[in-house]
Structure 1
Amino acid sequence: MSSFNALRHRDFRLLWIGQLISITGSQMQLVAINWHVYLLTESPLALGGLGLVRVVPIVLCSLAGGVVADAMDRKRLMLISQSVMLVCAGILSTMTALGHESLWSIYLLTAISSAAVAFDSPARQAMLPSLVPIEDFPGAVSLGLIVFNSAMIVGPSISGLLLRNYGPELIYGINAVSFIAVMIALLLMSATASRQVEAEKPVISLAALKEGLRFVWRTPIIVQTMTLDFIATFFASATALLPIFADKILSVGAGGLGLLTAAPGVGSVVTSLIMARLGVPRKQGKLVLASVAVYGAATIAFGLSRWFWLSLMMLAIVGASDTVSTVLRQMIRQLVTPNHLRGRMTSVNMVFFMGGPQLGELEAGSIANLIGARLSVITGGVGCLIAVVIAAFSARSLIRYEGEVAEANTVPRGSDQLRRSAEFLPELNAETTVDSRESSLSDL
């Protein structure tokens, strides 16, 4: 069965199209902000600071965002968070057009937007399994990555072209308008698309937060995938330094910066299409480790490259390997988590998934300030490979995970599929875990 079958479902299709438009605008703004800060400061440390102001609100707000996503109507929560991001982009566009922008105002508005993401992302990811049947869920994950990575190609490329002739204020304005697409999609979705079973809804409280944390920490395969993701992206995140590579090392300017930023998206889209067509492979745990190893090796090669075409190729490989890892990790986590805990699990994952790259940007900027951009990227790739070696000897649950998702998803709900998922939750009471997952899967 083709993974593109997920597009047959109206609510998923609406959200998929809305996200394609919105994320394209966000990727355009990402390039514009990096270039804007570089023009204002010409400082690697200031570029790294963008990572810090993005990650701090996520760390502070994401756990609360997960609790709210499980307790509140997820569609309504997304409408609120999308509105906040629209306002932030609009203010940034206006301030820049009037010449009132400063480094600290850019930092502040970026931080507010990141806080909104901390509520939006758990709601969106937790809602996803409710938009498609369980047999189409792996395809929905792959298609979601196709949206993100297509936006990574189109957004930066358009942004690079516009920055040649216009200021960043135009791009910020386009991003503000793009959020309306998701808001329209949410309003057109059926009323039951994001509705949770009332008995499953937690009260917004510290106890609900502790329940989510307890589930995550007692599920080894979730902890292992999150930790590996954080360490790998912390060391091998080179995004913040791309303006320096474009300007000083490769001498390709703003247009080249757009292509460099888009290159990982090219590799990711090609890989996502292949995975969506072929389905989920076996020996998924080992494949996650292998893909992270390729990610680190390609990062090293990018740092060593002095040729623009080779740099583009290495960044495309970075995107391709990251996509393989991301699809498998997200699928594993969502399928072993009961519906009423998915928002909280996703919020914990956000600390790792988004914290790694953003703190990695700060680390890369700080190291680049001391030893230069090229050595910063190279040493980061080496750190990523070391993390893979350590995981290969210590992450036993991940290594032995060989879930045959395509076959498992064809069996009746609540049968062998659930028991196979429960095998990776040894510290939890097996009967309770399987029963709760049966309940959540029957709602999909």
Structure 2
Amino acid sequence: MILSETDATMQGKHVLQNRNYRLFLTSRTCSSLGFQSLTVALGWMIYDLTGSAWMLGWVGFCQFLPMLLLTFVVGTVADRYDRRRIGLICQWVQAVTVLTLGTLAWHGLLTAPGILAAVAVLGAAQAFERPTMASLVPGIVGPAMLQRAIATSTSFMQTALIVGPSLGGILYGVDRLVPFFTSAVLFLAAGIAVSRIRLIAPPAARAPVTLATVFAGVAFIRQTPAVLGMISLDLFAVLLGGATALLPIYASDILDGGPFALGLLRAAPAIGALLMSFYVARHPIRRGAGKKMFAAVAVFGLATIVFALSTNITLSILALLVVGASDNISVVVRSSLVQLMTPDEMRGRVNAVNSLFIGTSNQLGEFESGMVAGALGPVAAGVIGGVGTLAVVALWMAAFPTLRRIERLDGT
């Protein structure tokens, strides 16, 4: 059979998209696995050096601070320069930083301030990498494959979230230097993969940098009701539904479990998200995307309430599985729609703001749950969070009717 020129072109484009898809998954998985395993090793090492719980808190702060400070710089850079090259540089920076840490530890020269400085560098690299790689996806797979790419990428990331910390702990147990050099290899592999990605279309023309262009992502979100609705829905739903931050209290005081029970509870949301991401990758959402997103967030709120009221560990684990699964549906729909609704020349700035909102909601959500639990108890905190999430769903469905009426996620 002889293919026409048009058919040959389409077939070649499809092959390129699939190749890009595999390289993107390889890069994101290696990077996430390296970062997750490294985070555990760094936490253990700094605690071994200082014996201070406060220093563990500073590790988290040093990871979050660069994202907060660099949001608008990250977005502008991602929209002006080759996103593949930015991803490659981020992997190189992380690999070099980790190799430096391992070398210093090998010679007994690593100190707590040195670890915090390295964590800040790693946090800055992650601040650039995450929104930049998210912005890259539509330009390497096309709208038709976007939902599948996001769902599968989410499943791989969830796997890394489950496997990474365990891997870091096991490797640290073998020798405290092994996690550093293993992570460096993973970052280098991620860099090689992203360097081999090829764009399916030339990048759009870039506007000169001005104060207006730097903040154009915020202006676009504010002026696009559907995008504003999606990003703010995630912000407030996660902010209020942060009962999982109270898992140590539930495992110890409410469910009468121990460290093993806590491990099961912590793993349950990630496992639920992983299973759902596999399902969505095989059975993409074809119709009613907006309504299904709202339904998923409502189920997230209901499952949070069930978990808060449960005194049976089996029921609690099932509720957390549903929390993770419903959150995954919401993530896939929101991520796909934000990518499709945002012009390519602005995706970096919009994704940078979105990343900041997600990071902030996670941090503040844990803070909110802790404060309410301290005042009213953990059960009340969980119930209030779940009810608050349901209230947000009702308010957002009324305030953003265009979001509710969205049907498809394939750009058609």
Shorter-chain TM-score: which interval?
A: 0.7 to 0.9
1:138 matches 2:142: no
Q: 1:292 aligns with which of 294, 297, 308?
A: 297
1:120 matches 2:129: yes
Q: Which amino acid aligns with 1:139?
A: R
Q: Which amino acid aligns with 1:27?
A: Q
**How far apart in 1 are the matches of 2:142 and 2:156?**
20
**How far apart in 1 are the matches of 2:376 and 2:60?**
19
Mapping of 1:202-217 within 5 angstroms?
A: 202-217=207-222
User: Any unmatched runs of 5+ in structure 2?
Assistant: 1-13
1:442 is aligned to none
1:185 matches 2:198: no
* Structure 1 residue 110 displacement after superposition: 3.6
**How far apart in 2 are the matches of 1:230 and 1:23?**
23
2:161 is aligned to 152
2:330 is aligned to 325
The alpha-carbon distance between structure 1 residues 110 and 311, as it changes in their structure 2 partners (threshold 3 A), is farther
* Structure 1 residue 354 displacement after superposition: 2.2
Q: 1:350 aligns with which of 349, 355, 366?
A: 355
1:11 matches 2:25: no
Q: Deviations over 1:11-39 (max 9, x none)?
A: 22112122222212333345556777889
The alpha-carbon distance between structure 1 residues 8 and 396, as it changes in their structure 2 partners (threshold 3 A), is closer
Contact 2:289–2:409 (Cα < 8 Å) also in 1: no
The alpha-carbon distance between structure 1 residues 335 and 395, as it changes in their structure 2 partners (threshold 3 A), is same
**How far apart in 2 are the matches of 1:304 and 1:35?**
33
Contact 1:285–1:400 (Cα < 8 Å) also in 2: yes
**How far apart in 2 are the matches of 1:269 and 1:300?**
22
Q: 2:386 aligns with which of 377, 381, 384?
A: 381
User: Any unmatched runs of 5+ in structure 1?
Assistant: 410-416, 418-444
**How far apart in 1 are the matches of 2:63 and 2:228?**
23
Name which of structure 1's ranges 300-309 and 124-133 shifts more when overlaid on structure 2: 300-309
* Structure 1 residue 147 displacement after superposition: 1.4
**How far apart in 1 are the matches of 2:217 and 2:18?**
29
**How far apart in 1 are the matches of 2:156 and 2:228?**
27
Contact 1:73–1:195 (Cα < 8 Å) also in 2: no
**How far apart in 1 are the matches of 2:359 and 2:311?**
29
The alpha-carbon distance between structure 1 residues 106 and 320, as it changes in their structure 2 partners (threshold 3 A), is farther
Name which of structure 1's ranges 179-188 and 392-401 shifts more when overlaid on structure 2: 392-401
The alpha-carbon distance between structure 1 residues 23 and 13, as it changes in their structure 2 partners (threshold 3 A), is same
Mapping of 1:82-121 within 5 angstroms?
A: 82-90=91-99, 98=108, 102=112, 108-121=117-130
1:65 matches 2:69: no
Q: Return the TM-score normalized by structure 2.
A: 0.81
The alpha-carbon distance between structure 1 residues 245 and 57, as it changes in their structure 2 partners (threshold 3 A), is farther
**How far apart in 1 are the matches of 2:17 and 2:291?**
32
1:236 is aligned to 241
Q: Which amino acid aligns with 2:36?
A: Q
Q: Which amino acid aligns with 1:320?
A: A
2:203 is aligned to 196
Contact 2:277–2:328 (Cα < 8 Å) also in 1: yes
Q: Secondary structure of the equivalent of 1:291?
A: helix
Q: Which amino acid aligns with 2:67?
A: I
Contact 2:88–2:192 (Cα < 8 Å) also in 1: no
Q: Quick one: percent identity of the two aligned structures? A: 34
The alpha-carbon distance between structure 1 residues 350 and 228, as it changes in their structure 2 partners (threshold 3 A), is same
Q: 1:263 aligns with which of 268, 281, 286?
A: 268
1:334 is aligned to 339
Give the paired residue count.
Answer: 395
Q: 2:230 aligns with which of 217, 225, 228?
A: 225
Q: Which amino acid aligns with 1:219?
A: T
